[in-house]
Every structure is written in structure tokens, then in C-alpha cells.
Structure 1
């Protein structure tokens, strides 16, 4: 089994503007999770801000031997992740997983995407 149980993403920002059609080209941040184990991975995500208390946990799961992508834009419970606001996140899993972070910024017609492995 590969991966770690605790991950951090220091960068987070969801632009409110988009130029492309939804949902494919809507500006978004994505949490990409790889679970190579034979068990379901249960995750809790906490969101941190510059000027207010953390929010969470957001709970999600990834089936065994699967990958799953979660858009921060779609996090609703306990509250939506605000747009046009810097944030960071901590991901805790009950089993080792691999975490990657991706952003699509489509505020301009020339889309920009970047990705990075999270810190474990």
C-alpha cells in the first residue's frame, strides 16, 4: 500500500469568474485521491483561512483500488468554500492514500491549469 494518512495543501483559491461552459470549464480547485488499498478510504478535510476559524470536517470516501476527484467548489457541508478567498486544507485519511491538487483558472479565454502533489 502506498501513501500517507495526513496531507496538507498550502495553496487554495477558487476564482468566481469563468469563461467556459459549466461544469467542464468552470474555474475550480480539485482534490485528487488515489486509494491503492483493498479497503475504502474515509477522509476528513479541514479548510483554513487567513482571517477566520477553520471549517470542517468535510467527509468523503474513496472505494478500494480507485481514484476519485473532489472539487472544492462542490463542498457544501458544513458550508461552501468561499470564492475569491485564499485558503489551505488538511486532509486526514483512515488509511494511506496519495493526494494531488489541481486548479483550473478559466477567468480568461486562455485557460490555465496547474497541479502539484500535496505535502505529506
Structure 2
């Protein structure tokens, strides 16, 4: 089977650790991003559900991603019906897609003079 016949990615991904620091130092602002790669020729719909420790989730925030493109979605910019992810609050995310995609999660921690960058692949569900 050639690589062109293989499914590239998954429809459902989980990111269990999210946290946007309330303060940053220096020139850069702390932030987190969901990085999504769509290898398909067609556009896909992405739906992000944000879970919290002490309140109901923000359900199915919709993001469109064109075919054969990548998108870096800042979690601080996710919003639905006036709700957004507040700074200084732990959260987790479910990322659904109408087509198989690859999901990576990145965090820039600029709370100290020495910045830290972390990036991991999300947890895919087959």
C-alpha cells in the first residue's frame, strides 16, 4: 500500500493539560496553540471542546481548515457565545475533525526571563 492510500491522521484528539499563565515577563507573551495539519485535499471542520475543573465545558468551538494546509490556533483566541478560556485556569481539550488530521500542542512559557517552549503530539483516538 502506498503512502497516498493511507489515512493521514485521526478524527479525534485529546490534550489533557492546558494553562495560560496570567502574567508574562519580557517582550513575549505566554501562549498556547493547537497546531493542526490537514493533509487532505478537502477543507475540514475542526470542533474544539474545552473542559474545566469547576464549570461546564465550552462545547464545539468551530474552526475551518482548508485542504492541504496547517493552522495554529491560539487557545486564548478560542471563543463561543462570549465564553473563552480565562488566564490562570487549568483546562483540557477535545479536538474533533470531519476528516483525519494531525494535532500538535505547543506552549510558550514567558513567565521568567528564560523562556520555555514545549510541544507535544495530542493523544489520538482511532
What is the TM-score with the length of structure 1 in the denominator?
A: 0.93
Structure 1 unmatched ranges of 5 or more: none
1:90 is matched with 94
Quote the RMSD (CA, aligned, Å).
1.0
Cα distance in 1 for partners of 2:53, 2:96 equals: 21
Structure 2 counterparts to residues 34-45 of structure 1, below 5 A: 34-45=37-48
The counterpart of 1:33, out of the listed 33, 36, 53, is 36
Structure 2 counterpart of 1:47? 50
- Offset at 1:75? 1.3
* Greater fraction of residues in strand: 2
Find the counterpart in structure 2 of residue 80 from structure 1: 84
Find the partner of 2:120 among 111, 116, 120. 116
Per the alignment, residue 63 of structure 1 pairs with 66
Among candidates 16, 19, 26, match of residue 25 of structure 2: 19
Q: Secondary structure of the residue that 2:89 maps to in structure 1? A: coil
Alignment partners' CA distance in 2, 1:31 and 1:64? 17
Q: Structure 1 residue runs of 4+, over 3 Å off? A: none
Paired residue secondary structure (1:73)? helix
Residue number in structure 1 paired with 2:8 = 2
Give me the whole-angstrom Cα distance separating, in 2, the residues matched to 1:61 and 1:55. 18
Larger radius of gyration: 2
Instruction: Give the count of matched residue pairs.
Output: 117
How far apart are the structure 2 equivalents of 1:62 and 1:32?
Answer: 11
